[in-house]
Amino acid sequence: MTQNDSDVVFSFESALDRKSIGRYQFFIFFLCFICLVFDGYDAYAMAYVAPLLRVDLALNHSSIGQAFSASLVGMFVGAIVLSPIADILGRRKVTVAALLVSGLSMLASAKAQIFGELFIARALTGFGLGVILPNALSICAEFAPSKRRFLTVMLVSLGMSAGGAIGGPVAALLISSSGWRGVFVAGGLASIMVAFCMAFWMPESLNFLIRREGNLSTSAQRIAVKVFGPGIAASLTPFSAPASTKGAPFLELFAHRRTLQTLCIWAIAFCNLLCLYLLASWLPILCQEAGLGYRDAALATSVMQIGGLAGVLLLGSLARRTNPKLVLLVGYVIGAAAIYAVVPTLHMGIGPLAVATFVAGTSIIGGQAGIQAVGLDLYPQAVHSTGMGWALGVGRLGSVCGPILAGELMMRGLSTQSVVNLGAIAALIGGISTGFLFLLDIRLRRNQRVTTVTENNQRAMIRTHT
C-alpha cells in the first residue's frame, strides 16, 4: 500500500490484496502450521504403535482395523458437528477446545488396558481432531491475499504431512525408551501445549467478529492494526463484511449452483482419505508380515509423509501455472499406479518400497491439500468451516472404510495385493471425480465469457442508438 491509500476506505479483503504478506500474517500462518503438525502426529500415532500394541493387547486383524477406525469415526462426527458450530461460536474458540479434547484423549489412550478403553479413547481423540484442519485452514485463508490463497493454504497444509513424517522417527525413539504408551503421552502433552498457544496468540476470524459485533467491531479493529498498522487500519472503518448467508450454513453448500461441485469435492475427499488411511494404517503391519523390521516399516511410512511434503510443494507450484483441478487429476492417476506397486516392492527391499510409498504420498497427500484449497475457493467465507468440515467429514467416511475393509478382507484370506488394489481403485475414482470437476469448471468459465460478451454487445447497441 502507498501512503495515499490511508485516505481511502477499503474492505479488509481488498486491502489484503493491495499489500504484501506481513509479519503478523506469517505469524498466523505459522500458528496454523504448528497446529496441523501435532494434528498430523496424533492422526498417525496409532499406525506407528500398531505392531506392538497388537501384541500387548492381544488384538487380531479385525480388532486392529476397528481401533484404527475409532478415531476416524470420531473425526467424521467432529468434522460435521463442530465445523458448523465454529462458524457460529468462533473458529479460534472451537479449535482450542478441540486441541484440549484430543490431547486429553491421547493421554487416556496411553492408559488403555483393554480394547474397549482404547476404542473409546481413540474415538474421542478423533472427535477433537476432526474440526482442527478445516478451522485452521479457514483462518489461514482469511488472512491470505486472494492471489496467493491457494498456494498459502497448500503450504500450511504441509503441517499434517510434517507431523506424520516427524512422527515416525519420534515414535521409534519413544518406543525404544518408553514403549508404545510413550507415543500417546508425547502427542497428548504436545496438543495441550499447542491449545494454550492458540488461545493466547491466534486471532479470531474477522468475518465472525464483524457478524457478531457489527461493523464497528473493536476486536476486528485491533486485529487490523496488527495486520496493516494504525494508519491503514483507520481507513478500514467501518469494515465491510463478506455477504452473510441466509438459513443454515449447510444449505449454502448447495446454493448458487454449487450442488455438483460440492458432490464432486465430497467424492474426491472420500476416495483420497480411503487411500491415505488404508496405506498409513496397514503399511507398518504389511511390512512386518513381509519380513521387514520395525525400523524399515516406520521408515516406509515416514517416507510416504515426506512424499506428501514434496507433493504439496510440487502441486502448489504447478497449480499456479495451470488449472489446479487438472493438476489433481494427473496426480491421482500417478498415485493409483504407485499404490498398486507397493505390494511387489515389499519383497524387493526398503529401497524400491520407499520409492513407491514416496510417489504415493506425493500424489495422495499432495492431492488432499489441493482439495482443501479448491474447496475454500468455492465457498464464501461465512461458511468456510462448514464447507470444509463437511468435505473432510465425508472424507473421514472413506478413512473409516479403508482400514476396516482391509482388515476384513485379510481376515477372509484375500491376498495382500487385492487389499492394496482397493486403494488404487479409489485413487482412480478420485481422479475421475476430479476430471468431472475440471469439466464443470470449463463449462462455468465458458458461460461467464458468453455472458460477458452478451453484456458488452448490449452496451454497444445502447451507445449506438443513443
8-state DSSP, 322: S
Contacting residues for 185 by C-beta, under 8 A, at least 6 apart:
106, 107, 110, 178
Place 270 in a pLDDT band, splitting at 50, 70 and 90: very high
Are the C-beta atoms of 188 and 104 separated by less than 8 Å?
A: yes
Q: What is the pLDDT of residue 417?
A: 81
Report residue 139: phi and psi, to 5°: -65, -45
Listed range (279-288, 380-389, 452-461) with the worst mean pLDDT:
452-461
The residue that leads in pLDDT, 266 or 169, is 266
Give the span between the Cα atoms of 402 and 411, in whole angstroms: 14
pLDDT value at residue 297: 78
What's the mean per-residue pLDDT of the chain? 80
pTM, to two decimals: 0.72
Q: What is the pLDDT of residue 427?
A: 92
452 backbone dihedrals φ, ψ, rounded to 5°: -65, -45
What value does the mean pLDDT take over residues 334-361?
89
Q: Distance of CA 11 to CAs 15, 215, 238, 380, 442, Å?
A: 6, 11, 9, 15, 30
Set out the domains of the chain in order of their start, with CATH numbers: 12-203+248-465 (1.20.1250.20)
Residue spans of alpha helices (H) in 143-237: 149-178, 180-201, 206-213, 218-228, 230-234
Q: Is 78 in contact with 388 (CB distance < 8 Å)?
A: no
Per-residue confidence at 236, pLDDT binned at 50, 70, 90? Answer: low
Q: What is the pLDDT of residues 4-40, one digit of tens each?
A: 444 444 566 777 777 778 888 999 999 999 888 877 7
What pLDDT, in 10s, does the model give residues 131-189?
A: 888 888 888 888 888 778 777 887 888 788 788 778 778 887 888 888 889 999 998 99
pLDDT band at 91 (very low <50, low <70, confident <90, very high): confident
pLDDT at 257 over 80: no
Question: Rounded to an integer, what distance in angstroms lies between the CA atom of residue 368 and that of residue 433?
Answer: 14
